[in-house]
Amino acid sequence: MKDAIRQRALELGFDQCRFTTAAAPDHAAAFQHWLRAGHHGAMAYLERNAEKRLEPQRLLPGARSVICVVASYATATLASQTPHPSSAFVARYARFRDYHAVLGARLEELAAFINQLGGPNTRSRWYVDTGPVLEREFAQRAGLGFIGKHTNLISRRFGNWIFLGEILTTLELEPDAPEHNHCGRCVRCLDACPTRAILAPFQLDARRCISYLTIELKGPIPVELRPAIGNRVFGCDDCLAVCPWNRFAREGRLLRAHARPDLDAPDLLELLELDEAAFRARFAQTPLARVKRRGLRRNVCVALGNVGDAAALPALERIAATDEPLVAEHARWAMDQIVARAGAGSTALSSA
């Protein structure tokens, strides 16, 4: 039965499929400690549904097994850098059609196949980063990879550029061997983090993470962290990109057809000028829709404050005078940074 499920998963486009039990997570205490420390920030849903994350039976009564799948989103141009200072950086995973839709449709098919294979009393429930599942723990327990010091899953076959999906099922399937940690003494991810969000190996303070600041945080970005954001407007890949296990990364089959090359290096001022209709038309089917137009404009203002020049001032002045308070405040901050840089440059030239 496992062979049939694995074969069907590969036919649906997933790059790997492995199995584990539906037993409670081993790292429940660590997760609870992380929540008590407040390291989840404004992501209140993590605390609200913590019991479900720690007890899979609450998600699917009678669950006995978890089928875990991997889909690589590595591309041939993954290592390329942003080609121009006026361009925005978008996390690699977001440069595709929304992975929730792409993986979700296949997981739904795979769950239906499992139910048919198991018979009329079989029940299955699938997730792709959308439910209260500690997916990295299940994936490590199934042997798909190991949780690195940056707290993300690392695959020895695909590196860091991977999406995960899970299916809880009432079928009892023999579990595969778990993966063990292979970070060794490497601390490249800790050293690479621009905001020092990785407090220590395997300890992340999400409140300092650029992915949290540009995606999850809905209010103002802390002023002291804004310079470290650089030109990033949606997520940050620094801790993933430096991992030596990426030497094994290879292009996945499933995401290839859903790439959005227009998001490789979008122009910052162009993003700032999008009206609501244009924002929806461009980003409705991508992960960027999650931050909504106001969130993207807030992020773009910060990026322009870090890398923009005088050419950005007219647009920022207009936004500072007419936009909602959240975006306007970030626009004013950006203007101050640009003017300060220009002044410092003039001083340097006059003293040369």
- Ramachandran region of residue 340, left (φ > 0), alpha (ψ -120 to 50) or beta? alpha
Strands 198-200 and 232-234: unpaired
**How many Cα neighbours within 13 Å face the side chain of 142?**
30
Distance CA 161, CA 7 (A): 22
Contact 14, 70 (CB under 8 A): yes
Backbone angles phi, psi at 286, to 5 degrees: -125, 165
* CA-based end-to-end distance of the chain: 75
Distance CA 243, CA 259 (A): 23
Give all strands (DSSP E) within 4-158, no chain letters.
16-21, 65-72, 89-90, 124-127, 146-147, 153-154
Catalytic positions are 129
